[in-house]
Amino acid sequence: MRTKIVIASLIAPSIAIITIYVASFLPVIRTSLTDPTSGSFSLSSYSQFFTPAYINTSFMATLRISIFSTVFALVIGYPMAYFAVQHRSPHVRKAILFAAITTFFVNSVVKSFSWYIMLEKYGVINIVMQMIGLPPQGLLFTEAGVIIGETQFLLPFIVLLLMRPVQNVDIVLVEAAKNLGANDVHIFWKIILPLTMRGIVNATLLSILLGLGVFVAPLVLGGGFVITMALLIYNEIINAFEYSLGSAIAVFFTAFTLLVAFFVNRMISHKYSASE
């Protein structure tokens, strides 16, 4: 009995917070099922959202940005993680880690803004390009610009997530292969890549999941031309006061994200995450 009281008082504060959080979704679900004009039950907000106009733009843009940014972050992040673990110079290892962790900790609005001053019409890149006589780029306010910003957001996660799998590669195997006459190319393709494949898949899935919530990069670098799902919800509720439509989109998007998260959790080997 006494133990029960102890347990109850220990978990009471967290249950209170969780209850508020979970309860806060009820008004969203209710609003999404309410007709904004008549106030009666209706699915009209959902049918309004499930039209090519919304699905083909926001939903597809969100998927594209998340997937492309993840692919870029993976291509850049894999050698970074590899060097951060295996490079013989501790300074190189530390420098890569510092770049990844500092970027991870820097405010995401600042990160996106820093790419804004690089990409804008009279920004840093164009000034430099003009100096060396190249035509200016116009990546700001395009999806490509948003992908650049999102890649900067996801890259630290990818580097940090790939470090453990790279670290776990048995150095004895690499040495053995070297002694048997294998060259670096062989060692990479036949030993290191296969052994880190599981980690690559895990990092990719987690990064795509994380990228789905992309909000700041399109807000700062999209200039209203690139609308992701998270930005769409924000616009409908804060700018357009379309509470019912915004809620319907939020409900759909949450369900979709949780479904992806569930799928990702199933895919990620639990053997891997248990062996820490």
Partner 1 sequence: MNELSLRIRVIERLGRIIAIALVIFGVSFLLAPLVMTVYVAFLPSLLTLVPKTGYTIHWFVTLVNEQGFAQAAFVSVSIATLATGISLLVGLLATYAVTRFEFVGKGLLLTLSLSPLAIPAVVSGTALLFLFNLLRFYDSYMMLLLGHVIITLPYAVRSLLVGFLSIDRSIDDAAANMGANRLQVLTKLHVHLLKPGILASVIFGISMSIDDIGVSVFLVQPGTTTFSVLFLTLTRGSSTETLLSALGTMLLAFGILASILSDRIVGFDKIVRSLRF
Which of the ranges 10-18, 48-56, 132-140, 170-178 carries the binding residues for partner 1, by CB under 8 A?
Answer: 10-18
Which of the ranges 50-58, 133-141, 155-163, 170-178 carries the binding residues for partner 1, by CB under 8 A?
Answer: 155-163
Among 105, 172, 179, 239, binds partner 1 (CB under 8 A): 105
Nearer residue to partner 1 within complex by CB, 159 or 174: 159
CA–CA separation, 116 vs 100, rounded Å? Answer: 20
* Distant-in-sequence, close-in-space partners of 77: CB < 8 Å, separation ≥ 6: 155, 158, 159, 162, 203
For 41, phi then psi, to 5°, come to -60, 135
Residues belonging to the chain: 276
Nearest distance in Å: CB 264, partner 1? 9
DSSP secondary structure string, 90-139?
HHHHHHHHHHHHHHHHS-HHHHHHHHHHHHSTTSHHHHHHHHTTPPPP--
Q: Name residues contacting partner 1, limited to 14-43 (CB under 8 A).
A: 14-15, 17-18, 20-28, 31
| Interface characters, 195-234, with partner 1 (x: CB under 8 A) | -----------x--xx-xx-xx--xx--------xxx-xx
Beta bridge partners of 41: 34
Nearest distance in Å: CB 79, partner 1? 4
Q: Name residues contacting partner 1, limited to 233-272 (CB under 8 A).
A: 233-234, 237-238, 243, 246-247, 250, 253-254, 257-258, 261
Among 83, 150, 165, 174, binds partner 1 (CB under 8 A): 83
Q: Name residues contacting partner 1, limited to 42-81 (CB under 8 A).
A: 75-77, 79-80
Nearer residue to partner 1 within complex by CB, 82 or 143: 82
CA–CA separation, 48 vs 236, rounded Å? Answer: 13
Among 65, 139, 161, 248, binds partner 1 (CB under 8 A): 161
Is there a contact between 21 and 239 (Cβ–Cβ < 8 Å)? no
Asked if 116 interacts with partner 1 (CB under 8 A), we say yes
Token pair listed for 242: 């379309």
Is there a contact between 74 and 54 (Cβ–Cβ < 8 Å)? no
Q: How many residues bind partner 1 (CB under 8 A)?
A: 98
Is there a contact between 64 and 146 (Cβ–Cβ < 8 Å)? no
Is there a contact between 201 and 161 (Cβ–Cβ < 8 Å)? no
Residue at token pair 């990479």: 188
Among 42, 64, 67, 113, binds partner 1 (CB under 8 A): 113
